[in-house]
Amino acid sequence: MPPNILKSSLENASFSIIFQIFCRCVTFVLNAFVVRHVGQAILGVINVRLLLLESMILFLSREPFVKACLTNTAEHNWAQVINLLWLTVPICIVMSFLFGYIWLFLLSTTEILPPYYTFAVWAVGLSCVIELSSLVVQLVASAFLFVRLKIILDTIMIIIRTMTFVPLILYYPENALLAFGIAQLVAAIFYTTSHYAYFHYHIKKLNKSQKRRMSLKDNSNEYVIREFPFHTIEDFLPCQLKNNDSYFDTKLTNLTWSFFRQGILKQILTEGERLIMTIMPVLTFTEQGVYEIVNNMGSLAARFIFRPIEDSSYFYFTQMVKRDKTISDQNPVKVQESVNVLTHLCSVVTCIGLVVLVFGQSYSSLLLWLYGGSKLILPLPVLLLRAHCLAVLLLGINGVTECYTNATADNATINKSNLIMVYQSITFLGASYLFAIWFGPVGFILGNCVNMGLRIIHSVIFINKRHQDTVYRPLRGLVPKPMFSTCLLVAAFATNLSHTYFFPSEKILHLLVGIIMFMIVFMSWLYENYELIQLATSKWYERRNKQKKND
C-alpha cells in the first residue's frame, strides 16, 4: 500500500513517545547514579552548563534548516536542498568556537570548576559538528518516511552514550567530565556513521531492484509519484546531484533565515532558566543539581508525550496546509482533516495537562519520596514539582498551537512574529530573574509559565485569524468537556484530603485513593470521547487488515 502522511505521522509519534520514555528513564536513572557517585554539583555542571551548550549549538545550527526543508518535501529540488543543508556544518563550527570561548572564558562563577571542564566543553562542540555532518541523511529519512530508522538509531545512540559514560564514572568518579566528553564523542561518531551506512545499503538495494519510484497518499485520494533521487552515497554531498537551477532555492533560503532569526528568540524562551543560571549564577552548582533533579521529574509528561506529538504534528501540518494560501483557497478535504486533527490534539494535550496539574498537587511528595527518599520531600523540592505541574499544562497547549503556527505561517507572518518574540523574550527573562530573586528556584518555573502563556496567546491569535473567514473553529478543543471537568474537581478534593490525612504515614492508602480517582477521571474522558476512540480503533483495525492482506 502507498505510504500515507497522516499514518506515518501517527506512527512516528508513537515510536517517538516510546523512545522518549526510554530516554527519560535512562536519564532519570543516570541522574540518580551521578548524584550517588560524584555528587549534585557535578550533576549541575553537566545538566545545566554543558547540556545548555549543546542545546545552543545544535538548535541554532540545525533547527532553522530542518523546519524550512521539511516544508512540502514532494516539490523539493534535492540538489538545492542538499547544498543548503551542508551550510549547517560551517555554521556549527563557528557556533562551537563562539560558545566554547564564552563557556570557558567569559562566564563568571563563584565556585571552582571541576577537572576536565575545558575538555568537556570542546568535546561537546566537536560532537555537534560530527552529528550535523549527517543532517542531510537525517532529513532525507524524514522526508521519505523512514519512520523507524530515526527511532532505532536514536535509541542505540543513547545506549552507547550511557554504556560509555557509566563504566568510566565507576572507575574514575573524580574525572566525571572526562567521561561525559568521551561519551558525547563516541555517540556522535556512531550516529553519523550509522546513518550513512544504512543509506549506502539502501541505495545499493534500490539500484539492484530498479524500483526507485513510490506513491505517497495524502488522505484525500491524491497520489504524488516520487522518485528516490539518490543513486550513490556521494549524492548526499554538495554539488553532486544534477542541478539545472540556481545553487540554492531562494524560497527555502529566505524561509530558513526567517526561522533562524525566530530560533534565536525561541531558544532564549526555551532555555531561559538555564541561561540565567549560567550567565547570572543566582544558584550554586549544588542547587542547580537539585533543581535539575526535580525539573526532570516535573517534565516527564512533556518529554514522554508532548514533544513527540509536536514533532510529528509539525511534519503533518506542513504537508497538509499550504503556507502561502488562505484556508478557503486550499483543498477542502485536506483542510477539514487538518482542522479535525488540530482540534483533537488540543483536546488531548489539555486533558493530559489538567490531569497532571490536579494529581500533581497531591502526589508530588510521594513521587519524590519514591525517587530520593525522605531527603527529597522537603518543602522546596515538593513546591518545585507542584509548580512544574502548571508548567506542564501550559507547555502542552503551547506545543500544539505553536506547532501549527510554525507549520502553516508564511514568511511575512513569521517575520512579524519575530518582533513579538523579542518582547516575549525580554518579559520572560525579566520575570524569571525577578522571580528567582524573590522566590528562589521556584521563580524559574513561574517565569517559564509566563513564557508559555505569552506564546500561547500569540499562537491562538494567529489560528483564530487564519480561520476567521471559515466555519472551522479548531481551538474549541482547548475547552474540556463538562463530565471530565466535574470528575477532575472531585478528584482534586479527594486527593488533597487523602494527602492531608494519609501522607506520609499511610502511603499505600494514599496511592490507592489516587488510583481510584484517576480511573474515574479516565472513564469520564473515555465516555465523552467515545467517537474519537471508535474512530481510532476502526483505523487501527483497518490498517491491521490491510497488512494481513499484503502479507
CA-wise closest residue to 79 among 290, 305, 260, 239: 239
Question: Quick check: is 487 in a domain?
Answer: yes
Q: Which of 31-35, 187-191, 270-274, 285-289 has the lowest mean pLDDT?
A: 31-35
Q: What integer pLDDT is reported at residue 223 of this predicted model?
A: 42
Task: Please name the residue that has the C-alpha cell 478557503.
Answer: 328
Question: Quick check: is 551 in a domain?
Answer: no
Q: How far is CA 110 from the centre of its chain?
A: 33
Question: Quick check: is 371 in a domain?
Answer: yes
Please report how many Cα atoms fall inside a 13 Å half-sphere around the Cα of residue 62, on the Cβ side. Answer: 18
Question: Quick check: is 277 in a domain?
Answer: no
- Same domain for 58 and 151? yes
Q: Which residue has the higher pLDDT, 9 or 178?
A: 178
Question: Quick check: is 217 in a domain?
Answer: yes
User: What residues make up the domain containing 380?
Assistant: 282-479
Of 237, 270, 303, at which residue does a domain stop? 270
Residue 125's identity, in one-letter code, is G
Q: Which of 10-19, 77-86, 424-433 has the lowest mean pLDDT?
A: 10-19
Question: Quick check: is 276 in a domain?
Answer: no
* pLDDT at 243 > cutoff 70: no
Do 518 and 478 contact (CB within 8 A), yes or no? no
Of 479, 508, 527, at which residue does a domain stop? 479
Question: Quick check: is 373 in a domain?
Answer: yes
- Same domain for 24 and 171? yes
- Same domain for 198 and 117? yes
- Same domain for 141 and 236? yes
Confidence bin at 197 (pLDDT 50/70/90): very high
Q: How far apart are CA 333 and CA 42, in angstroms?
A: 54
Over the stretch 438-493, which tens digit does the pLDDT of each residue have? 887 788 888 888 888 988 998 898 888 888 877 788 888 888 889 999 999 999 99
Of 240, 270, 300, at which residue does a domain stop? 270
- Same domain for 354 and 455? yes
- Same domain for 433 and 520? no
- Same domain for 193 and 247? yes
Q: How far apart are CA 308 and CA 66, in angstroms?
A: 16
The count of other CB atoms within 10 Å of the CB of residue 95 is 23
- Same domain for 463 and 357? yes
How buried is residue 71: exposed, middle or buried, by Cβ count under 10 Å (0-12/13-18/19+)?
buried
- Same domain for 470 and 486? no
Q: Which residue has the higher pLDDT, 23 or 252?
A: 252
Do 260 and 60 contact (CB within 8 A), yes or no? yes
Determine the longest span between alpha carbons in the chain, in angstroms.
75
- Same domain for 409 and 486? no
Q: Which residue has the higher pLDDT, 123 or 548?
A: 123
CA-wise closest residue to 150 among 352, 264, 315: 315
Q: Which residue has the higher pLDDT, 465 or 1?
A: 465
Mean pLDDT of 40-58: 86
How many domains does the chain contain in total? 3
* 31 Rama class: left (phi>0) / alpha (psi -120 to 50) / beta: alpha
Rg (CA), the chain: 24
DSSP state of 324: T
- Same domain for 378 and 505? no
Name the 3-class secondary structure at 159.
helix
- Same domain for 358 and 413? yes
